[in-house]
Amino acid sequence: MTDVIDEALAVAPGSRLDRLRAARPEARKRTQSSYDALFDPAEEQNLARGERFAIALRVAESSGSPALAAHYRARLESLSIGAGEQRWAAIFRHVDRVTREPRAISAADLQALAAAGFDEATIVTLAQIVGFVAYQVRVAATLALLGEDA
Amino acid sequence: MSAHVTKGGFTTEVLDWAAWLEPVDLATASDEQLAALEESGPHAKTSQYYHLLLHDAPVLRERSQLFNAIMYGPKGLPRAERELGAAVESILNGCVYCTSVHARCYLQLAKRPGTIEALFEHGLQARLEPRERAIADFSAALARTPPAAGQAHVRALREAGFSDEDIADLANSVAMFAWANRLMLTLGEPRGNLPEA
């Protein structure tokens, strides 16, 4: 079974970090299954998998996680992205603000996204991707800290 | 519990939350959506927040299980201190709704209203006892974008009695609220008896 955080941090089986994560099996398992639901969805709806990886890459980069950025970049390169330039500009602008300054988002911002053709489900999934990667980079950052010394 | 705390733009009173987008109508929801709602807990059935998140039911389903494992898992860091990490993250992000829920949980579990009052009023400048200080400083540093927690924070937690498992538990809670705050703050707004800033 693939575990993205273990892969990104090169957690070796039986190592200290592996044992630390194994002490909370449900959190470890549900972190990965949340990833699977977001990035390997049964139905892509209005966000293609390539777009999902591009959004996650953007969040990982602006959240200072080279290890997770490398993961999302590798996944992105294996898929093509069909979105036009204007759609990307709108997505990235929103993603950057949700990442860096979520309190600055207002109802008017969501109305503008809706007017640009994003439906409710797309906006919700977009927020879930940004939220998940915000979670993931903090879990990984802490494990990296705990793995630095013995 | 009777004594609520309201200060500095935050409150532990019960607030409501209203979505900025049309939530899923339960009358026309799919079986998968209804199952996801069921698994998210009794409070989810009447909450616009959960009804909105049903637009992506498979993700809500996994996220609710993850949330429960991290916040209510039986082993490890005392629940009160997971709630304190969640509250600090939420205060720093300015998430009035998440703060109301998790500062209230902390009050109920730890019975330390002075800690919440000080955090509401002074943020990180609050005067706290050493273990709370270590929790607040680590949580605040991890909350930043990019996260800025370092070895000094880890040392302070260990000196306050934290094992590495405890530190990972606290980090999971703070990280979960980096996620939750971003949903609550960007998809709707708190309603009800809102505190003045």
Nearest-CA distance from A78 to chain B in Å? 23
Question: Do residues B42 and B9 touch, judged by C-beta distance below 8 A?
Answer: no
Candidates B50, B59, B157: best to mutate against A (most CBs of A within 10 A) is B59
- Chain A interface includes B181 (CB < 8 A): yes
Question: Do residues B36 and B11 touch, judged by C-beta distance below 8 A?
Answer: no
Tens digits of per-residue pLDDT, B98-116? Answer: 999 999 999 999 999 999 9
* ipTM of predicted assembly, 2 dp: 0.97
Contact B179 A63 (CB under 8 A): no
State the pLDDT at residue B156: 98
Q: Which residues of B touch A39 (CB under 8 A)?
A: none
**Residue from A131, A114, A132 nearest A123 by CA:** A114
Q: Which residues of A touch B178 (CB under 8 A)?
A: 131, 134-135, 138
- Chain A interface includes B66 (CB < 8 A): yes
Contact B142 A110 (CB under 8 A): no
Candidates A135, A136, A143, A148: best to mutate against B (most CBs of B within 10 A) is A135
The per-residue pLDDT string of chain B (197 residues; one tens digit each, 9 = 90 and over) reads 458 999 999 999 999 999 999 999 999 999 999 999 999 988 899 999 999 999 999 999 999 999 999 999 999 999 999 999 999 999 999 999 999 999 999 999 999 999 999 999 999 999 999 999 999 999 999 999 999 999 999 999 999 999 999 999 999 999 999 999 999 999 999 999 999 87
Q: In the A/B pair of chains, how many CB contacts fall below 8 A?
A: 156
Other Cβ atoms less than 10 A from the Cβ of B178: the count is 30
Candidates B20, B33, B56: best to mutate against A (most CBs of A within 10 A) is B56
Domain ranges across chain A: 4-148
Helices (H), B46-129: 48-53, 57-72, 79-93, 96-110, 113-122
Percent of chain A residues topping a pLDDT of 90: 78
Pairing of strands B10-11, B188-191: unpaired
Nearest-CA distance from B163 to chain A in Å? 10
State the pLDDT at residue A81: 63
* B:20-39 residues touching chain A, CB 8 A cutoff: 20-22
Contact B186 A98 (CB under 8 A): yes
Q: At residue A82, does pLDDT exceed 90?
A: no
Tens digits of per-residue pLDDT, A36-66? Answer: 999 999 887 788 898 999 999 999 999 999 9
Tens digits of per-residue pLDDT, A103-125? Answer: 999 999 999 999 989 999 999 99
The SS3 of residue A68 is: helix
Contact B151 A37 (CB under 8 A): no
Q: Which residues of B touch A109 (CB under 8 A)?
A: 186
Sign of the alpha-carbon dihedral angle for A81, A84, A90, A92: positive
Nearest-CA distance from A84 to chain B in Å? 24
What's A4-148's CATH class?
mainly alpha
